[in-house]
Each structure stands twice: as C-alpha cells, then as structure tokens.
Chain A
C-alpha cells in the first residue's frame, strides 16, 4: 500500500513571495505519478502539476514547480510570486501507473497568501 505524508498542516506567505510545501511518500512501485492538487472553498479539486516518476527532470507549470527526489521519496511544491488566489488547501497525491488506479492523497496543507 502507498502512503502520502504532508507534515505542514498550515503555511502562510506574503503576496509576491515564494513558498515551498513538503510531501513525502512511501511505495514499492517503480512506475507511478505524483500530483499536487489545489482545493479552494468551492471544494473542486484542481490539478496544479504532475510528475512522472521515470522522468528525472522536475515538472514546472508557470509559477509552480516541483522538487522531485525519487530516492528520498520526496515531492515538494514551490510556488513563486504568490498571489492571493493561491490561497487554498493543497494536496499531494500518488497514483500507480496502471489501469483504473486510484489516487492516494496526503492530509493537505492549508496555504494562506497574505496581502
């Protein structure tokens, strides 16, 4: 079974600054995906960024980037130039690379961007 751990229940950052959210996971799988999802008060899970485990290059999506350390089973999210709209709950998630695979989520980190 896979486990995902987010050790920071809450984080805050000033607008325009950079913040890093931590995530570690445990798995015996060799092929898998890792994701960061954002959940605003509307409750809809919004995909922020994804990483294929076989790719050594860290994924980036505009202001969002990850630091993927496969050996250490670490997958942190860096948000640059934080904006007020980034305020939300952020979840790290794991998925095996197989048909019909489920997502395994961490406990979440509540990020607040202050003006």
Chain B
C-alpha cells in the first residue's frame, strides 16, 4: 500500500472489554513502532518490532497490553480488560531500516482513537 494503514479508525469499548488494534506497515518495512497519544499530549513509545521480533516492550503500561507481529508484517496491539485511562489515540509507525533518523525515516499511520466508557 501507499502508506501505513491502521484499523479501525475509531473504537469504543466498554470498561472491561478486550480490544485489538491493527497496523499494516508499508510493505518491506523492517521496523515497526507503536505509540500511545493521550488527549493534548505528545505520543509516548509503547513497543518496537524488528521484523517479527519484539525487541523493546518497555513502554507497555501494564500486562494488559500485548503486541505481536507474527510474520514480520501486520502487527496487532491488544488491550485486555480495558480501563478508562486506556482512552487515547494509538499510532503505528514503520521504517525501512533498523537505524532510525535521517536515513530511514518513520512513516506514521492515522491512528486508532480508542474511547473506553
């Protein structure tokens, strides 16, 4: 595809429900990141994949958050037993290489806005 695609665009969940957010990175991109953006704040890092390997999950706020990328392309962020504080925009980004910055810029998706009621 032309860019990073995320679905759904909006998700409303009742407190306690499980949700799954999908990210389709640009084809061939090795690196994939998930970020959480609370209302009026800058995005905060959640986790990083290099192909199918989850190399950094230090930003996941609790063990209710789980991410996978089993075939090194599509990634899913799962949140179990959602809480109101999970309400945020979840952004996915991918890059061609493994060294970020100038030679391998990040491409972001439009995010999924999760609202927990």
Do A and B belong to a common assembly?
Answer: yes
Are B100 and A100 in touch, CB under 8 angstroms?
A: yes
| Partner among B44, B45, B99, B105 whose Cβ is within 8 Å of the Cβ of A98 | B99
Q: Is the CB of B43 within 8 A of A45?
A: yes
A47 surroundings in chain B (CB, below 8 A): 105-106
Query: Are B101 and A45 in contact, CB atoms less than 8 angstroms apart?
Result: no
- Residues on A with beta carbons closer than 8 Å to the beta carbon of B56: 100, 102
Total chain A interface residues with beta-carbon distance under 8 A:
25
- By a CB distance below 8 angstroms, the chain A residues around B59 are 102
Q: Name the B residues within 8 Å of A105 (CB-CB).
A: 42-44
Q: Do B102 and A102 have beta carbons less than 8 Å apart?
A: no
Q: Is A65 an interface residue (CB 8 A)?
A: no
CB-nearest residue of chain B to A110:
B40
A101 touches B44 (CB 8 A): no
Q: Per-position contact with A for B87-109: 1 when CB-CB < 8 Å, else 0?
A: 00101010000111110011011
Is A15 in the interface zone, CB < 8 Å from B? Answer: no
A interface vs B, CB < 8 Å?
A: 4, 33, 42-47, 50, 52, 91, 93, 95, 97-108
Q: Which residues of B contact A (CB under 8 A)?
A: 31, 33, 35, 40-45, 48, 50, 55-56, 59, 89, 91, 93, 98-102, 105-106, 108-111, 113
State in angstroms the CA–CA spacing of A107 and B44 once bound together.
10
Task: Give the Cβ gap from B108 to chain A, nearest Cβ, in Å.
Answer: 4
Complex contact B101–A42 (CB within 8 A): no
The docked-state distance in angstroms from the alpha carbon of A103 to that of B106 is 10
Contact A100 B31 (CB under 8 A): yes
Check if B102 sits within 8 Å of A52, measured CB to CB.
yes
